[in-house]
Every structure is written in C-alpha cells, then in structure tokens.
Amino acid sequence: MTEEARHKYEFKRQLEELKSKQGQGTELISLYIPHDKRISDVVAYLRDEHGSAANIKSKSTRTNVQSALESIMSRLKYYKEPPENGMALFCGAISIGGDRTSMEAITIVPPQPLTSFSYRCGSNFETDKLDDMLVDRKTFGLIVVDRREATIGLLKGKKVTPMRHLNSTVPGKQRKGGQSSHRFQQLRLIAISDFNNRIASAANDIFLNVDRNDFQGILIGGPTPSKEEFVKGEFLHHELQPKILGLFDIAYTDESGLNELMDAASDTLSQLDVVKEKKLMERFMKELVSDNGLAAYGEDSVRHNLNMGSVDVLLLSEDLRRSRITLKCQNCEYASTTTVKHRAGEKATLEFGKCPKCQSTLNITEQVDVVDELSLIAEQMNTEVEFISTEFEEGEQLLNAFGGIAAILRYRTGV
C-alpha cells in the first residue's frame, strides 16, 4: 500500500465523518481558504459575518453561529499564512441527540490545492470541494475497431464508459457478380479509409475534450489488420496520434469489447490501481477454490493468521467500517474485546449489556478502527496491506461475500 493510498483512505473517512454531522438550525460553518488568501482578510470577513449574525432571530442559532465564528477566528491566529494547499475549517454546534449539541471544530488540509475562497453557513457542512478531490481523474481513451463497427469509450479511474458506436459501410470481401475485381477492391479501400476517418473524427471530439492533465493515452483493440490500419494511416488528430499506448488483439468491437480491451491491456495499465486490485482479487479467488488453497477470509480467521505471521497480502475493503471495542466493568476485573460494525461516518454507539460476573455497567475504554488495528499487526509481521475498492465486481464481492477482510497466505495454519 502506498503512502498516497493510505492518505486517500484517511481523507475519505474524514469526509464521511463531516458529512454525518448535523446542526439544529442553519448554524454549521464551512470555510475554505486558498493559499493566496491573506489570513487578515479572512478574519476581517469573519468579523463582518459575526456582526451580521447579530440579526439572526433564533437566540440559540445566533449564539451558536457567533461562537463558531469566534472559535474559527481564534484558530486562525496560529497561522501566518494558509498552508500550501490552503485549508478548510468546519465549525458549529453538532446535534448529539435529544436537544443537546456539542461545539466541534475540524480543520482539514486538503491533498490538492483549493482554488477559491468560500464561506457557507448551513445545517450541514459543505464538502463538495473536497469530495471532488477523491475522484480519480486519470483518463484513458479506448477504441475498438473491426471492418463492421467501432466503439469508442473512456476509462476514467476504474470505470469504463462507452461514448460512441459507429457502423461501417465497408462491403464484405466477396464481390457481387458483374463487378470487376479491381473496381471492387478500390471501392472497398475507399470505404475502409472513410470509416477510419469517421472513427478518428468521433474519437478526436471525445478525447480532445478530456482535460489534458488527466488524459493518459489511448488503447486500441480489435482484430488484425483493422486496428493496425487505423494506427498506420494516422487518422487521429496530430496531438492524439503520439498518445497511442498500444494495440491489443480482442474479439469483440461492441461495448463489451471495451472491457475486453481493458483486460487485454492490463500489463500496460498495471500502474492503474484497478488492474492491480483485480489481479489481487483473482489470486485470492483462485486460492480459495483450490484444495488447500492459501486463502482466508472473515475477521476472526484473518486476525488469527495475521498474528501467526502467515499472511502474505492482507486485502481490506475500502468501504469496511468496523471498530474494535474494549469493554471494562465499572466494578470488577471483567474485560472483553469485541468488534462492532457501523455505517460510514458514524461512530459505534451500541448499548452493551451488563457485566456477566457482577451485573455492573460496562464502559468502553478503547475504540480503534479495525483497518488501523489490522494494518498495525500487518506491519509488524511484514504483511503487505492493500485496499480494495468496491468499484468493480470482485471488489464488491470482497465487501459483501467475505466481510471486507481477506488474506492471501504464505502457508496454512489450519484455521
């Protein structure tokens, strides 16, 4: 797992937590400050807002907005200037059940630069600008072509999107009676060239509209010689032609051909997360179905194997949300550890029973995220940790069929 993947995961969790918070009125403040904004200007702006807030009718909303503004202003005192990527501050009175609220303040330094200043006061925190940063923008152009048809698509992040389908007017190889062979061949070549021009023109429209910084290159698939002719004839726009990454033999040239192309190009794309994740899941599945296969899944079995040092690769679903909770009795020595599932962004707040020994109340003395906890054990055991997204079929299976936790083993331990 790269440092980048780790940060992305933590950033995603922070956003989920922000989104889950709600105020009672319009009183949660979301403040975005880009690097080039002067802190003194921001403070002047907030002081102004503080003045306007005096007009808010509801006393509790007025008080909450004003104290949130004060809290932000006092935080800003510690900054001479905003960090390199700017900063986002969220502050307000969060509902914590019943009529109760608790004043919370969260500062996030985003992984990518913020470009504009904004101030919002609402019943939720505004995270749109940060959500955008989670999207994987790396984009590849896909073209699959044979004599009859062509399909053009985009591979963005982990998702293939078909964009255009074209049918050709290229006649089959058998000429009709009465036509001279020479004339027939000529017409056929003209039709092929015409079709290639139409494909290129559609592809130019689509690919040149993708942000240059995000566009990684073009993959072309199909039978021989259709795809080779398309490349050799240099039909694509002169800026796109050098971006062709490779040609791949595939059977289908309809929408399913785009997926076939992505699979065929997997070595070329091996830097792409989805291919790496897919390969890991395939390796896991293969082990799982073979006799004495080196696979384990489910929290208990994987935890056991991790502690034994027998896990080679730990596979964790990006959408796994579980906490490991330690409970202790108020009165006696009793203690136990248990795992609770919760929804994204929510803290585990379950009612726990009484102490089985003395019937006193049990308190939560420790709560850690299962991902953090397992990653820590993995680190000590030289186990590789990989996050698997749910944006592809096998990734969804990991979450839904295998509880979000699986392992490829070095050797079997019998559990």
Positions in the binding site for Zn ion (CB under 5 A): 329, 331-332, 334, 355, 357-358, 360
**What burial class does residue 151 get, using C-beta atoms within 10 Å of its C-beta: 0-12 exposed, 13-18 middle, 19+ buried?**
buried
Neighbours of 396 (CB within 10 A): 15
Which of 334/352 has CB closer to Zn ion?
Answer: 334
186/338 with CB nearer Zn ion: 338
User: Which tokens go with 275?
Assistant: 């291919």
Smallest distance from the beta carbon of 339 to Zn ion, in angstroms? 21
Closer residue to Zn ion, CB minimum distance, 302 or 329: 329
Pick from 141, 143, 161, 139: which is nearest to 152 by CA? 143
Helix (H, G, I), strand (E, B) or coil at 126: coil
Spatial distance between the Cα atoms of 397 and 415, rounded to a whole number of angstroms: 22
* Residue 297 DSSP code: E
Task: Give the N- to C-terminal CA distance of the chain in Å, as an integer.
Answer: 26
C-alpha to C-alpha distance for 383 and 410, rounded to whole angstroms: 10
For Zn ion, the closer of residues 329 and 405 by Cβ is 329
Q: Shortest approach of Zn ion to residue 328 CB, angstroms?
A: 9
**Chain-centroid distance, C-alpha 217:** 21
* Residue with smaller CB distance to Zn ion, 355 or 378: 355
Per DSSP, the three-state class of 383 is coil
Which residue, 201 or 359, is less far from Zn ion as judged by CB?
A: 359
**Nearest 10 degrees: Cα torsion 97, 118, 89, 73:** -100
- Specify the length of the chain in residues: 415
User: Which residues share a beta bridge with 302?
Assistant: none
Q: Residue 336 CB, nearest distance to Zn ion (Å)? A: 11
CA distance 158 to 142: 13
Nearer Cβ to Zn ion (96/332) = 332
| Least CB distance to Zn ion at residue 327 (A) | 10
Q: How far is the CB of 332 from Zn ion (least distance, A)?
A: 3
Taking CA atoms, 14 is separated from 91, 119, 265, 387, in Å, by 14, 20, 35, 17
Calpha distance 273→269 (Å, rounded)? 9
Minimum distance, C-beta of residue 359 to Zn ion, in the bound complex (Å): 7
Using CA atoms, how far apart are residues 322 and 311, in angstroms rounded to an integer?
20
Q: How far is the CB of 334 from Zn ion (least distance, A)?
A: 4
DSSP bridge partners of 105: 91
Question: Which of 360, 365 has the CB closer to Zn ion?
Answer: 360
To Zn ion, the closest distance from the beta carbon of 214 in angstroms equals: 58
Angle between helices 39-53 and 59-76 (to 10 degrees): 170
C-beta of 357: minimal distance to Zn ion in Å? 4
Tokens 């599932």 correspond to 341
Select 161 or 338, whichever has its Cβ closest to Zn ion. Answer: 338
